[in-house]
Every structure is written in C-alpha cells, then in structure tokens.
Amino acid sequence: MIQGKFNWDIDIVNKAEETIGRLRYNPKCRKTDEVFDVKYAQVRKILSSVVAIKNKLGVEQRKSKSFDKLPENIAMEVRFLKTTFLYQAGRDKDNKYPVKNFIEDSQLVEMVECIGTDVKKFDMFCKYVEALVAFYKYRAVSVIAAANEAWNKNKPFSNQNYNQSNGNRR
C-alpha cells in the first residue's frame, strides 16, 4: 500500500466535516448508530485506539513535565495505529468496503505515517479523529431527525389521534 504525504497545513475541522459528509447514507436504517454504511462503533473503535495512546502520552508528560518529541514507546504505538486501521478495513467483507473507503478518504494512514515523533502532529491527529466522531454523530442525528419528520408527516394514523378520539383508552 503506497501512501502519499499528508498536508498538515489544512483545516482539520473542515476536512473532518467533509469526510463525514461523503459517507453513504443507509436509508433502511432508523438508528443513529447505523445510519451510514460505516457504523458508529467502527468509527468509535478508531477513536478509542487513539485516545488510549493520548492518555499514555499524558502520563509521560506529567512525569517529565514537557517534551517536544514522542517517547519511542509512544511513537511505536502511534505507528501501530496503521495496523489497527488496516485491520478494521480488512474485516469489512459483507458491507463492500465502506470502512476501507472511509480510512482512505479520511487519510488516517497517511497522517500516522507522517507523525513520527512530533508531539504537535500527534495532538492535531487526535483532534482530527475526535472531530470525525463528533461530525459523524451530529450528522447521523440530523439525518435520523429529518427521516423521522418526513415519516411522521406521511403517517396516515397516529397514536395521538387514536387517544384523542377514544378518550378513555391509553
């Protein structure tokens, strides 16, 4: 797998929003966790892997107050994220590769390859992954709300009408 370099000068918030905006909608789903082809749990798994390393870095920083390079053990864990991402992409057989497409579109592997021992790049990477999860959840809730609103408008019979016309039934 040949990866390009990641452009660290971009606005990661806009990139995260655009990446989530390109996810394919699953119109059969009524739950926010499965509203897109990429499941929320799959995106959260990526975040949890990143947050675990971020927490280890925080412990190391408290021990030595501050540093501008990732310790070698933390840098190795960051590099290992690539295998975590590729494994998640490879597990997705039934859904025809939306996780693989998401990982490629979000450029997560390219970012990991470019971090090296740079603390600032790792911090930016963490914020980017957090933004991906936040935009996913926000967009999923918005899509479900719009679908529910459209469904309720087209619903011929509602419980509210039933309860009002038959006052003693609840």
Say how many residues make up the chain: 170
Dihedral of CA atoms 11, 15, 17, 22 in degrees, nearest 10, equals 160
Residues linked to residue 118 through DSSP beta bridges, in sequence order: 69
Write out the two tokens for 158.
Answer: 């509602």
With beta carbons less than 8 A apart as the criterion, state whether 70 and 58 touch: no
Residues linked to residue 69 through DSSP beta bridges, in sequence order: 118
Amino acid occupying residue 39: K
Residue 4 pLDDT: 53
Spans of the chain below 70 pLDDT:
1-4, 27-35, 66, 92-96, 151, 155-170
User: What are phi and psi for residue 25, nearest 5 degrees?
Assistant: -80, 140
What does the alpha-carbon distance between residue 151 and residue 132 come to, in Å, rounded to a whole number?
28
Residue 25 pLDDT: 77
What does the alpha-carbon distance between residue 6 and residue 13 come to, in Å, rounded to a whole number?
15
Dihedral of CA atoms 134, 137, 139, 144 in degrees, nearest 10, equals -170
Nearest residue to 139 (alpha-carbon basis) of 47, 36, 60: 36
Residue 100 pLDDT: 87
Burial (CB < 10 A; 0-12, 13-18, 19+), residue 60, is middle
Residue 93 pLDDT: 66
